[in-house]
Structure 1
Amino acid sequence: MLNYKKERNKIKLRENPDLGRKVFFLNPPVKLESRIIPELRTEEYEIYIIKDYHYIKNLLRIFPTSICFININDKSLDSLQWFKFIRFFSEDPTLKETHLGVVTSESISWIKELFLLHTQLPCGYNPLNKNIEELKENFTALLDINGAKGKRKFVRADCKNDSNIFASCVVKGITVQMHVENISTVGFCCTAPLSGQYLFQVNSVVRKLSLVINNKEIICNTAVIIKKKGTKKLLLVFLFLQGFSYTSKTIIRDYITNYLQHTIHLIQTNLPLDTQDYSVLLKEEYDIIKSIKASALYSQRITTQKQEEEFLNYQQEWEAFKTMDEITELHPIEGTEKDSQSSHDPLKEEYTQTFFDKDDIQTTDLF
Structure 2
Amino acid sequence: MATPTQTPQHTGPSAGTGAATGDAASAGDAARTGADGCTGADGNTEIAGRKIFFVHPPAWIREDLIYSMVKLGYKTYSTEESRGLRKLVSLYPGSLLFANVDKGPKGFDWLKILSSMNDLFREKDIRLGVLSEDNRKDAIKRYLSAVSAPCGYIVLTGGQKEIASRITTQTVRQKARGRRTQVRARCFDKNATVNVKYAGENHAGRVLDISGAGAACVIPSLDDRLRKDERMSDIQFKLNSRICTVSGKVVGIRTESEKTFVLLFDEARSDSVDEKIYAFVKETIQRNFERAMA
Q: Deviations over 1:6-58 (max 9, x none)?
A: xxxx9364232121211111111345435533433332322111112111221
AA paired with 1:37? I
Hey, what does 2:29 align to over in structure 1? none
- Measured after TM superposition, the shift of residue 62 of structure 1 is 0.6
Give the number of the structure with larger relative contact order, counting CA–CA contacts within 8 Å between residues 6 or more apart: 2
Q: Alpha carbons of 1:40 and 1:104: their partners in 2 closer, same or farther (altered >3 Å)?
A: same
Aligned to 1:130: 158
Q: Identity over the aligned pairs, expressed in percent?
A: 21
Change (3 A) 1:232 1:32: closer
Residues 174 and 46 of structure 1, relative CA distance in 2, 3 Å threshold = same
1:198 aligns with 2:225: yes
CA distance in 2, matches of 1:232, 1:174: 25
Other-structure match for 1:247: 272
Q: Any conservation in 1 of the 2:237–2:244 contact (CA below 8 Å)?
A: yes
Query: Which ranges in structure 1 are unaligned for 5 or more consecutive residues?
Result: 1-9, 270-367
Q: Which has the higher strand share?
A: 2
Give yes or no for contact 1:48–1:261 (8 Å, CA) kept in 2. yes
* Separation in structure 2 between the aligned mates of residue 170 and residue 180 of structure 1, nearest angstrom: 16
Name the structure where helix makes up a greater proportion of residues. Answer: 1
Task: Supply the AA of the counterpart residue of 1:168.
Answer: N
- Contact 2:249 2:264 (8 Å CA) reproduced: yes
What is the SS of the residue equivalent to 2:182? Answer: coil
Q: 1:199 to 1:35 in 2, by over 3 A?
A: closer
Paired letter, 1:210: Q
Selected match of 2:194 from 167, 178, 183: 167
2:69 to 13, 31, 40: 40
Cα distance in 2, alignment partners of residues 234 and 194 from structure 1: 11
What TM-score does the superposition give when structure 2 sets the normalisation length?
0.79
Secondary structure at the aligned position of 1:166 is classed as strand
AA partner of residue 19 (structure 1): A
Distance change >3 Å, CA 215–CA 30, structure 1 → 2:
closer
* Structure 1 position 28 matched with structure 2 position 57: yes
2:52–2:97 contact (8 Å) kept in structure 1:
yes
1:68 corresponds to: 97
Match of 1:282 in 2: none
Task: Name the amino acid aligned to 2:132.
Answer: T
Question: How many residue pairs were aligned?
Answer: 256
Is residue 2:151 matched to residue 1:99? no
Distance 2:220 2:81 in 1: 44
Once the two structures are superposed, the pairs formed by residues 255-294 of structure 1 within 5 Å of their partners are 255-269=280-294
- In the alignment, the residues of structure 2 paired with residue 207 and residue 257 of structure 1 have an alpha-carbon distance, to the nearest angstrom, of 26
Residue 235 of structure 1 aligns to a residue whose secondary structure is strand
Quick one: structure 1 residues 44 and 227, their matched pair in 2 at CA, closer, same or farther if it must change by over 3 Å? same
Structure 1 residues 198 and 41: alpha-carbon distance in aligned structure 2, compared to 1, 3 A threshold: closer
Aligned Cα RMSD in Å? 2.4
Structure 2, unpaired ranges of 5+: 1-37
